[in-house]
Amino acid sequence: MTSYNTPGKTFVPDPRIQYIRAGNEPAVFKAKWVIKDPWTILENAGIAVAGGRITAVLDTVPSGPSVTDCGPGILMPPLVNAHMHLELSALAHRLPLGKGFEPWVKALLTARDSLGASALIRAARHAVQALPGQGTGLVGEVSTLGLTRSLLTDQGMAGVWFQEYLGTGYPAPDLAADFPLSGSAAGHAPHTTSPDLLKYLKNRTQKAGLVFSIHVAESDAEMRFIKGNNRSWHDFLIQRGIDPKDWPVGNKTPVTYLKDLGILGPHTLAVHLLQVLDTDLDLLADTQTGICLCPRSNQNLHNRIPDIPALLKRHLRPALGTDSLASCASLSLFDEMAFVRHLCPEVSPADIFAMATKNGASALGLADRFGTLSPGKQSEFIYLDTGVSSRNQVLEKVICYGTC
């Protein structure tokens, strides 16, 4: 496991990754290999663009002054980090891992509060600036303190910025279905955000046509609390000024709890899903709830990862996220894909690549702009400067990039 969680490359762009944002002028970009989507790989092909959109995928590329030959490597869609916490970037390598979730949460709160907003913003800005150089073009950023929205806007990053809420009350989230960056809302988790607040936020985001995000079934503490068997977490909430005495917990799983509240559905993004039963997975499939997994973070905090084959068997389409630098060593989706490949060799390269591209774009409600190199999508793509000799090696090279 340690090769995927090694300090030292937190904010370092990879010189072999070129993030390309084509302008409005007609142009063609070609390479030895083009990954149009997880199931379509073209050799000696190109991408035609104009007006900020992809206009065609070319099997044969003509010569001419408007053609840019990227090289012998791979043109591919930008990666999608569907769940991250940039405002925790200053906590990189500061917190204990492998000692349980509750001690980690308490250490996180103490460390975050001690650093102050200036340090958190400074580290988050470095992390944002490094994202394109790591191949990331679309993000689902979750912010409790509200520090990162302008940082993403300044960088020109696309995605959804989620203001995260805990506790009780009826806030007024700044919702905006804008592009490139939408503003939405997130409930922290079933065991930290009141049921009334969860329903309120879900209703507000749904009316605005936005995705609602929530951590679900991540920890033993959450599972025990929702079942009605965790007095220590109850007391912890009381200490934080949150009184859960009227919450309808008891004899439920986190997934069924959210189903009873009316939270599940195609415009909800359920993140983590470590503590799930087969019946929970069936509920998620039946309600068409979006899913995002953060395997490296899960391994570090809980010594386990989600059952990815079980999700795929039910035709669920999980996205990938890195979570935060408080729980893993990088925000690189290449690292996340490689970790999944290492621990889940039975999952196909195409399925892993889809998790980091197509599935993530769908989960964030931006499948019309990102996820594949198809006509109509944004004229943004990655060139990965790495040699591959045959078509059947392309996806394997990408998902194991830097580790295989």
Q: Which residues of 173-207 are buried (b: 16+ CB within 10 A; e: fewer)?
A: bebeeeebbbbbbbbbbbbbbbbebbebbbebbee
Task: Give the pLDDT confidence score for residue 232 in this predicted structure.
Answer: 87
What pLDDT does residue 50 have?
97
pLDDT of residue 402: 60
Tens of pLDDT along the chain (404 residues) come to 222 334 445 677 789 999 999 989 999 999 999 999 999 999 999 999 999 999 999 999 988 889 999 999 999 999 999 999 999 999 999 998 878 888 898 899 999 999 999 999 999 999 999 999 999 999 999 999 999 999 999 999 999 999 999 999 999 999 999 999 999 999 999 999 999 999 999 999 999 999 999 999 999 989 999 999 888 889 989 998 999 999 999 999 999 999 999 999 999 999 999 999 999 999 999 999 999 999 999 999 999 999 999 999 999 999 999 999 999 999 999 999 999 999 999 999 999 999 999 999 999 999 999 999 999 999 999 999 998 989 999 999 999 996 53
Output the CATH code of domain 79-363: 3.20.20.140
Torsion of CA 81, 84, 90, 95, to 10 degrees: -120
Cα atoms found within 13 Å of the Cα of residue 347, Cβ hemisphere only:
24
pLDDT value of position 6 = 40
CATH 2.30.40.10 residue ranges of the chain are 17-77+372-385
Residue 394 tokens read as 């392309």
Tokens of 304: 């386990």
- Residue position matching structure tokens 């490949």: 341
pLDDT of amino acid 10: 64
Q: What is the pLDDT of residue 2?
A: 28
Among the listed residues 134, 19, 21, the one whose alpha carbon sits nearest the alpha carbon of residue 382: 19
CATH 3.20.20.140 region(s) of the chain? 79-363
Please, which residues have CB within 8 angstroms of residue 111's CB and are 6 or more apart in sequence? 91, 94, 95
Residue 33: what residue type? Answer: W
Task: Give 17-77+372-385's CATH code, choosing from 3.40.630.30, 2.30.40.10, 3.40.50.300, 3.30.70.520.
Answer: 2.30.40.10
